[in-house]
Structure 1
Amino acid sequence: MTYCIGIRLNAGLVFLSDSRTNAGIDQISTFRKMMVYEKADDRFMVLLSAGNLSISQSVREILQLEKIDRGPDQPALTIWNAESMFDAVRVLGAAVRRVYQQDGPSLKAAGIDFNASMIFGGQIKGEAMRMFLVYSAGNFIEATRETCFFQVGESKYGKPILDRVLTPSTPLDEAAKCALVSMDSTLKSNLSVGLPLDLLVYREGSFRTEQMVCIDDQNPYFQMIHSTWGQRLREVFEGIADPVWDGSAAEHPLQASARYAPMGKISKPEDRIV
């Protein structure tokens, strides 16, 4: 399992991925899940992948060469000549389907699902930044102002902080901090996600980035995130009043619902709840 986050903001894009791959409790390996495609002053694209490692590695290899035929009078479409991110993600979808055609029947015969999900985002000169979530069938959906982030892999532990903090106007550094808190929450609760992490920040209109870092367990900023987030959560928790059951002079009594009665009790064999 793995965990990857892609965030699309007004100011740019943030990508974060872990690197743990496991095929059982005694077969844990490190494989990086982020690929960066950069052509200076023309296009910048990032691919994050989760799921079956052999599938995602094959897709990444094929993507660099994959072509979609556009007829006799036009050159074949690739990620390097696509004029929009929509066309580029179409090429990615074609690469996923090509891998399925090659490996899908063999995987099915071995009882293995064709399981891969990807986040693909970036900017091509002449259009705005865009980001997509790509499924195992090669189909995809696009991030919007209402849904400005995507997750793949073990997403449930890190989603609450993203839901509460992120909006399209969130500054890039704040979004990077939010993504790291989301990852730390996931690392704390799920052993199938692990260090090192790859973090990348892309600023709108730059078509390049130098803000890339690999984070291991010795990284001082991530150590600070880990200790501070846990401490502040405990402080907030301890600052919330305990429940008051008798409805006495509490500001927020744990009072009974006016609409629903409490659960009934069974005290003898013939009792029924309904």
Structure 2
Amino acid sequence: MTYCVGLKLKRGLVFMSDTRTNSGIDNISTFRKMFIFEEPGERCITIMTAGNLATTQSVISLLEERGKAPDDRNPGIYKAKSMFQVATLIGDTLKEVIASHTDSGQQADAMFSATIIVGGQVGDGEARMFMIYPEGNFIEASEDTPFFQIGETKYGRPILVRAFEPDMSFEDAIKLLLVSFDSTIKANLSVSLPLDLHAYDADSRTRGREMRIQADNAYFEEISTGWGVALKNAFRELPDFAFPSA
């Protein structure tokens, strides 16, 4: 399974993804699910993937190969003139890869399904973020929908809905994401550390601060423990329940 989140802030975009793909007792695998395409000063595009690993790796490989040979597919990811064109290109590529599996005799295209978050900035355009569905269509983040989740979304969503603010700092946004990921990891063993992080500064058009948060990261442990204690304390402070009088 997977958990990936993209936040659209006033000051930029923040992306975080886990790296677990299998969680069987004797079959635990780690693969990167975050990819960055960059031409410093001209464009910076971050992609996160969830779903069938063969499908998502094929999509990323095609984007990379066609980016090196833009004449083979125009415009390639390095030639697209807007983030809308980038989202359209990725959607078409995803749809193409899924169709190629089913056309080659494989059954049940749902087995090869994948969902993608892409965000970044191209040229003079603003920083934008999209969620792309297996069918190749997509929606854009907005004031009404300022963040996207893909993969195992339900456990980490409540904290995002309650606490996210578009004018929050990168540091607060990352703290919020770590709480969201901790809640997901606690509830579902198919999501796990390491976590990949990318914070993109709006209008920089170059990759921002990146890091991989390992299982032994002291700050993550502090957040995890502190959040558990805070929840217990908040629960104790709530009014006591009482049955109505007979």
When the two structures are superposed, what TM-score results if normalisation uses the length of structure 2?
Answer: 0.92
Given that residues 19 and 194 in structure 2 are in contact (C-alpha distance below 8 angstroms), is that contact kept between their aligned partners in structure 1? yes
Q: How does 1:31-70 map to 2 (within 5 A)?
A: 31-66=31-66
Residues in 1 aligned to 2:109 and 2:42: alpha-carbon distance in whole angstroms: 43
Query: Which residue does the alignment assign to 1:82?
Result: 80
Q: How does 1:150-189 map to 2 (within 5 A)?
A: 150-189=148-187
Deviation of residue 24 (structure 1)? 4.5
Q: How does 1:133-148 map to 2 (within 5 A)?
A: 133-148=131-146
Query: Which residue does the alignment assign to 2:206?
Result: 208
Counterpart of 1:190 in structure 2: which amino acid?
N
Residues in 1 aligned to 2:225 and 2:200: alpha-carbon distance in whole angstroms: 27
Given that residues 8 and 143 in structure 1 are in contact (C-alpha distance below 8 angstroms), is that contact kept between their aligned partners in structure 2? yes
Residues in 2 aligned to 1:218 and 1:23: alpha-carbon distance in whole angstroms: 19
Q: Which runs of 5+ in 1 are unaligned?
A: 68-74, 249-274
Go from structure 1 to structure 2 and tell me whether the alpha carbon gap of 1:238 and 1:107 turns closer, same or farther (over 3 Å shift). Answer: farther
Structure 1 SS opposite 2:176: helix
Report the structure number with the largest CA radius of gyration.
1
Q: How does 1:105-116 map to 2 (within 5 A)?
A: 105-106=103-104, 108-109=106-107, 113-116=111-114
Given that residues 66 and 95 in structure 1 are in contact (C-alpha distance below 8 angstroms), is that contact kept between their aligned partners in structure 2? no
Q: How does 1:21-36 map to 2 (within 5 A)?
A: 21-22=21-22, 24-36=24-36
* Residue among 195, 198, 201 paired with 2:196: 198
Q: Which runs of 5+ in 2 are unaligned?
A: 68-72
Pairwise CA RMSD: 1.9
For CA contacts below 8 A with separation 6 or more, give which structure has more relative contact order. Answer: 2
Query: Which residue does the alignment assign to 1:2?
Result: 2
Given that residues 121 and 129 in structure 1 are in contact (C-alpha distance below 8 angstroms), is that contact kept between their aligned partners in structure 2? yes
Counterpart of 1:13 in structure 2: which amino acid?
L
- Residue correspondences, number: 241
Deviation of residue 107 (structure 1)? 6.9
* Residue among 84, 100, 103 paired with 1:102: 100
When the two structures are superposed, what TM-score results if normalisation uses the length of structure 1?
Answer: 0.83
Residues in 1 aligned to 2:6 and 2:109: alpha-carbon distance in whole angstroms: 31
Residues in 1 aligned to 2:111 and 2:23: alpha-carbon distance in whole angstroms: 14
| Greater strand proportion | 2
Go from structure 1 to structure 2 and tell me whether the alpha carbon gap of 1:179 and 1:51 turns closer, same or farther (over 3 Å shift). Answer: same
Given that residues 52 and 116 in structure 1 are in contact (C-alpha distance below 8 angstroms), is that contact kept between their aligned partners in structure 2? yes
